[in-house]
């Protein structure tokens, strides 16, 4: 495909732990060989500290354009549901060109923030008046185009949204751009499957928006369309959703799902904020990933996910930037830990005794992210290893927050006293897309974004 220099690092986080003097030899976008205690060869690109790139398990990239515009209190109590009304109003105006421009900026920011693969939970399918596009993959194609242009890895998750509430309630007019029956949804999945082939190592999964938005029969249709790929859905994000589910079927959403769907390691349950202790054990036993979006969950006032109990039960977690109100991998990890500290009035809640919290969070995010985004085979959980995509992030180790740190202290300091500003370079599928913390095409992508946003907010 292309030739690139080998990469050499003073230290790197490998599956077996931190290693010194690490050389990554690339081939066709993957890591062909990992050498440790290796001298740099002439022509090697040299850096201080390397980490594997993280997957972003849950994003609605276009919502980046709405960030900061929903922080003014309304006349009644503000909630997730009033936020959703504002989001719908924004969506009503968005055209395909604008969707691509907003998505591209979100993807640039993800790469700069340490995410090398985006899981785009894609539920916007139709034209502004709700009529289907001639090409059912029109908007999925725009998401793919943004991924190709920015170089981010993509797991596209075309999403079935069929109803406006439990029990097959009709959708609201404002949901018209999302709505499909299983047959039309199948054509969108097919079109997305073809489109995502333009992304190096691109993946496709499927999603049901939530148990509010599909009937049991429609959920079964989504599962059939997965064809071995991953399956995502929003679940138990809001208490009102849990209550409405109980009214519909007498059980909570997670309990219903575990009893009625073939949940296994292909599944990603997004949020699961209000899962009970028993439900958490049930999810863990099925080896499904819970997709946590701590920054968005805090912004929307969802509640606190009982992460300590879930990890204690052997549960698997991944992290997503969801509404993209902020795009920062480190901040997602930090916010989860801080939510637990506030809830339990304790420190270092998620680490095992005697170990680093940053390391614990990072490794959970890496493994859960890759599982939920459908990385194939050994690459799924291993990070920097032979055969895996060459998705690498370096830290700016000479910055004040990282001075004098090594190994796990680097992770702890990046996550708890820094964030995206400490990312130096990023490679995705062997292509260097970020240098000095800045994406190679940021200027052009920002200009397109600005043009789109001016029209949207006019």
Start-end of H helices in 293-356: 294-300, 307-312, 329-344
Residues across the chain? 458
Q: How far is the CB of 119 from Zn ion (least distance, A)?
A: 10
Q: Which is nearer to Zn ion, 121 or 362 (CB)?
A: 121
DSSP 263-289: -STTEEEEE-TT--HHHHHHHHHTTPE
Q: How far is the CB of 295 from Zn ion (least distance, A)?
A: 12
- Shortest distance in whole angstroms from residue 117 CB to Zn ion: 17
Which residues, 6 or more positions from 230, have their beta carbon under 8 angstroms from its beta carbon?
Answer: 155, 157, 203, 205, 206, 266, 267, 268, 372, 373, 374
Pick out residues in 246-265 that bind Zn ion (CB under 5 A): none
Shortest approach of Zn ion to residue 323 CB, angstroms?
7
Residue showing tokens 């969801």? 322
Residue closer to Zn ion by CB (options 104, 213) is 213
Parallel/antiparallel/unpaired status of strands 431-435 and 438-439: antiparallel
Smaller CB separation from Zn ion, 146 or 325: 325
Shortest distance, CB of residue 101 to Zn ion, whole angstroms? Answer: 21
Exposed e or buried b per residue across 314-344, where buried means at least 16 C-beta atoms within 10 angstroms of its C-beta:
ebbbbbbbbbbbbbbbbbbbbbbbebbeeee
Q: Mask 314-333, x = binds Zn ion (CB under 5 A)?
A: --------x-----------
C-beta of residue 31 within 8 angstroms of C-beta of residue 384: yes
In angstroms, what is the C-alpha Rg of the chain?
21
Catalytic residue among 60, 126, 234, 271: 271
**Residue 178 CA, distance from chain mean position:** 20
Helices and strands (H, E) in the chain, number of each type: 15, 17
Query: Would residue 408 show up in a list of annotated catalytic residues for this protein?
Result: no
Question: Of 163, 232, 322, 424, which is the active-site residue?
Answer: 322
**Closer CB to Zn ion, 138 or 302, in the complex:** 302
Residue whose C-beta lies closest to Zn ion: 322
With contacts defined by CB under 5 A, how many residues of the chain interact with Zn ion? 1
- What x/- string results for residues 280 through 319 when contact with Zn ion is judged by CB under 5 A? ----------------------------------------
DSSP E strands, 248-354: 267-271, 289-292, 316-319
Looking at the Cβ atoms of 101 and 270, the one nearer to Zn ion is 270
Kindly state the smallest distance separating residue 104's Cβ from Zn ion, in Å. 19
* Of residues 14 and 102, the one with the C-beta less far from Zn ion: 102
CB nearer Zn ion, residue 322 or residue 363: 322
List the structure tokens of 94. Answer: 């968005």
Which one-letter DSSP state was computed for residue 179?
B
Question: Strand locations in 367-422, DSSP E?
Answer: 392-395
Least distance between Zn ion and beta carbon 177 (Å): 16
Q: How many CB atoms within 10 Å of residue 392?
A: 25
How far, in Å, CA of 119 to CA of 426, rounded? 18
Question: Around Cβ 292, how many Cβ atoms within 10 Å?
Answer: 31
Name residues whose C-beta falls within 8 Å of residue 343's C-beta, 6 or more positions apart in sequence. Answer: 304
Binding track, positions 344-383, relative to Zn ion; x by CB under 5 A: ----------------------------------------
Cβ proximity to Zn ion: between 289 and 422 the closer is 289
Q: Quick check: is 232 catalytic? A: no
Q: Shortest distance, CB of residue 398 to Zn ion, whole angstroms?
A: 37
Min separation Cβ 60 and Zn ion, Å: 6
User: What number of CA atoms fall less than 13 Å from residue 275's CA on the CB side?
Assistant: 30
CA distance 196 to 222: 18
Cβ-contact 105, 116 below 8 angstroms: no
Of residues 109 and 322, the one with the C-beta less far from Zn ion: 322
CB atoms within 10 A of CB 458: 6
Active site residues: 271, 322
**Which residues contact Zn ion (rule: CB under 5 A)?**
322
């Amino acid at each position: 495909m292309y030739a690139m220099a080998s990469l050499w690092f003073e230290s790197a986080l490998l599956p077996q732990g931190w290693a010194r003097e690490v050389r990554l030899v690339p081939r066709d976008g993957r890591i062909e060989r990992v050498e440790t205690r290796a001298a740099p060869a002439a022509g090697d690109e040299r850096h201080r500290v390397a980490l594997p790139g993280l997957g972003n398990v849950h994003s609605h990239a276009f919502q980046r354009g709405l960030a900061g515009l929903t922080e003014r209190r309304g006349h009644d109590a503000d909630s997730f549901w009033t936020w959703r009304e504002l989001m719908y109003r924004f969506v009503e105006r968005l055209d395909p060109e604008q969707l691509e421009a907003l998505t591209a900026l979100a993807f640039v920011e993800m790469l700069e923030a340490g995410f090398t693969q985006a899981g785009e939970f894609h539920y916007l399918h139709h034209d502004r008046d709700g009529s289907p596009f001639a090409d059912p993959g029109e908007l999925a194609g725009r998401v793919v185009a943004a991924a190709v242009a920015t170089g981010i890895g993509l797991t596209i998750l075309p999403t079935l949204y069929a109803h406006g509430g439990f029990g097959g309630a009709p959708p609201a007019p404002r949901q018209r751009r999302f709505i499909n029956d299983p047959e039309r949804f199948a054509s969108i999945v097919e079109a997305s499957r073809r489109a995502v082939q333009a992304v190096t190592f691109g993946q496709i999964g499927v999603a049901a928006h939530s148990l509010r938005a599909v009937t049991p029969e429609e959920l079964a249709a989504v599962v059939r369309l997965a064809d071995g790929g991953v399956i995502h859905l929003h679940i138990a994000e809001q208490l009102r959703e849990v209550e409405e589910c109980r009214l519909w079927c007498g059980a909570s959403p997670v309990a219903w799902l575990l009893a009625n769907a073939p949940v296994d390691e292909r599944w990603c349950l997004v949020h699961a904020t209000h899962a009970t202790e028993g439900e958490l054990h049930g999810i863990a036993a099925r080896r499904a990933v819970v997709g946590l979006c701590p920054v968005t969950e805090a912004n929307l006032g969802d509640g606190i996910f009982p992460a300590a109990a879930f990890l204690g039960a052997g549960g698997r977690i991944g992290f997503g930037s969801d509404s993209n109100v902020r795009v920062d991998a480190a901040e997602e990890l930090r916010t989860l830990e801080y939510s637990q500290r506030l809830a339990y009035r304790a420190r270092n809640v998620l680490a095992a005794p005697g170990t680093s919290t940053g390391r614990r969070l990072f490794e959970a995010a890496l493994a859960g992210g890759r599982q939920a985004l459908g990385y194939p085979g050994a690459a799924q959980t291993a990070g920097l290893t032979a055969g895996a995509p060459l998705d690498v992030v370096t830290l700016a180790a000479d910055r004040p927050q990282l001075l004098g740190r090594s190994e796990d202290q680097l992770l702890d300091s990046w996550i708890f006293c820094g964030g995206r500003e400490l990312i130096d370079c990023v490679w995705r599928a062997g292509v260097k897309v970020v240098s000095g913390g800045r994406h190679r095409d940021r200027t052009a992508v920002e200009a397109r974004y600005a043009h789109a946003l001016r029209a949207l907010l006019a």
